[in-house]
């Protein structure tokens, strides 16, 4: 039963637990490096610090002071970093640790799920913080690149193209290329000129019943597309109702339809937008909420596969969900042993160990919002879908000749 203090929790006599609100420490403003950099001028560009300095985020200074004080308490001998198991979570801790001038040994708690069992397993397999130095270096490079591109380019574009009273012309390492992609795509849509075309269809009778056939051929340089109504009517006039047709060929092809892979965050966002009209950010927020409620795995993942170890837990996860009425018959229909061949690939899971988004097997203990229930449902059904056997479809192509037309 932890006791709450100001900015942290105490658990027994051995544990102190504290937290951050996103970034408590960030890269310092330009004026910190050189007073002349405070003024926006071409004379000071580009601003290239020899060494980047850290500074507190003003709105969360109080919590930073709390964390810094705990890190440097004389009775604290060891530190566990339990921030989000991703690049940004690593950076949040590293900046706070460095700003606090702490040198105490650190272990890294790496969690892809927040269930009690997953936490116990992660606590037993913690690695030294140094095992994640490459991830931290990538995070810091991202942070410095944002500073260099954002501050220098924003000042340059504003000085060159800005108008009085307009404010800054914001340029960013990610936002500006993304804006370009959107602008180019919008231009393609605005410039697109639709061209109407016509098709001719005929219903033929056969011993097995009627079937509809589409004319196929060439008018000018356009295969199967007739660009004028007159040409379409001319072809149709050759084949009035009742014209006999001769089936020239029938080709049948059996097609295997594989079950889908599991959800990456991007795939989940696409499906949630298609089904429920949610934006990408709304889907991420809901997926994060389900993760924090111990219902689904870590959401910020680009993997569509599982590791071998995680796949071995699927039976228990499905068992935990089998009592939920919508899923009971679906789970019962799955083959035993589970068909995991397509969704298990250790090499296709990110280096950070984040596998596809799957349910933990825990049932909701409280009422979910409509959006949470919808995303939870999608995640369960996608897992069941992915474990289903491949389907088969038979596709038939039939060519008919009538009045010398195909």
Of the candidates 140, 144, 153, the one whose C-alpha atom is nearest the C-alpha of residue 49 is 144
Task: Kindly provide the residue ranges of all beta strands, DSSP E only, lying in 221-316, ordered along the sequence.
Answer: 222-223, 246-257
d(CA 296, CA 361): 8
> Does residue 386 contact residue 318 with C-beta atoms inside 8 Å?
no
d(CA 35, CA 43): 13
The residues, ordered by sequence, that sit 6+ positions from 356 with a Cβ below 8 Å of its Cβ are: 261, 262, 263, 264, 297, 301, 303, 304, 305, 306, 343
Cα 77 to its chain centre, rounded Å, is 38
d(CA 300, CA 350): 11
Strand, coil or helix: 74: coil
Q: Catalytic residue positions?
A: 298
Q: Sheet containing 79-81: which strands, arranged edge to edge?
A: 79-81, 106-108, 127-128
Element (H, E) at 211: strand 209-214
Of the candidates 65, 53, 59, the one whose C-alpha atom is nearest the C-alpha of residue 26 is 53
> Does residue 330 contact residue 384 with C-beta atoms inside 8 Å?
yes
d(CA 306, CA 94): 29
Cα 375 to its chain centre, rounded Å, is 13
d(CA 173, CA 182): 15
> Does residue 200 contact residue 228 with C-beta atoms inside 8 Å?
no
């Amino acid at each position: 039963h932890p006791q709450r203090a100001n900015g942290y929790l105490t658990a027994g006599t051995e544990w102190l637990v504290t937290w951050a609100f996103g970034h408590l420490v960030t890269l310092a403003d330009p004026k910190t490096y050189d007073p002349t950099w405070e003024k926006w001028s071409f004379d000071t560009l580009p601003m290239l610090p020899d060494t980047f300095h850290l500074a507190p985020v003003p709105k969360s200074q109080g919590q930073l002071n709390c964390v810094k004080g705990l890190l440097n308490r004389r009775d604290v001998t060891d530190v566990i970093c339990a921030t989000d198991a991703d690049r940004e979570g690593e950076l949040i801790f590293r900046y706070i640790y460095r700003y606090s001038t702490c040198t105490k040994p650190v272990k890294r708690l790496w969690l892809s799920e927040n269930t009690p069992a997953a936490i116990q397993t992660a606590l037993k397999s913690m690695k030294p913080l140094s095992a994640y130095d490459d991830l931290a270096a990538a995070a810091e490079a991202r942070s410095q690149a944002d500073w260099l591109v954002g501050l220098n380019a924003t000042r340059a574009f504003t000085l060159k193209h800005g108008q009085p009273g307009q404010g800054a012309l914001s340029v960013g390492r990610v936002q500006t290329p993304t804006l370009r992609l959107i602008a180019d795509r919008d231009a393609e849509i605005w410039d697109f000129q639709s061209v109407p075309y016509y098709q001719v269809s005929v219903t033929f009778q056969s011993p097995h019943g009627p079937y509809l056939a589409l004319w196929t051929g060439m008018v000018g340089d356009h295969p199967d597309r007739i660009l004028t109504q007159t040409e379409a009517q001319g072809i149709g006039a050759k084949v009035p109702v009742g014209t006999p047709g001769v089936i020239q060929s029938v080709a049948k092809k059996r097609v295997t339809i594989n079950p889908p892979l599991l959800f990456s965050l991007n795939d989940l966002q696409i499906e949630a937008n298609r089904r429920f009209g949610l934006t990408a950010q709304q889907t991420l927020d809901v997926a994060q909420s389900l993760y924090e409620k111990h219902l689904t795995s870590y959401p910020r993942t680009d993997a569509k596969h599982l590791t071998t170890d995680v796949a071995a837990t699927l039976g228990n996860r499905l068992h935990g969900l089998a009592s939920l009425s919508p899923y009971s018959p679906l789970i019962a229909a799955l083959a035993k042993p589970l068909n995991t061949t397509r969704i298990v690939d250790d090499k296709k899971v990110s280096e950070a160990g984040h596998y596809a988004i799957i349910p933990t097997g825990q049932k909701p203990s409280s009422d979910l919002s409509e959006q949470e229930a919808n995303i939870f449902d999608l995640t369960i059904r996608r897992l069941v879908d992915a474990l289903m056997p491949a389907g088969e479809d038979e596709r038939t192509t039939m060519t008919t000749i009538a009045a010398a037309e195909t």
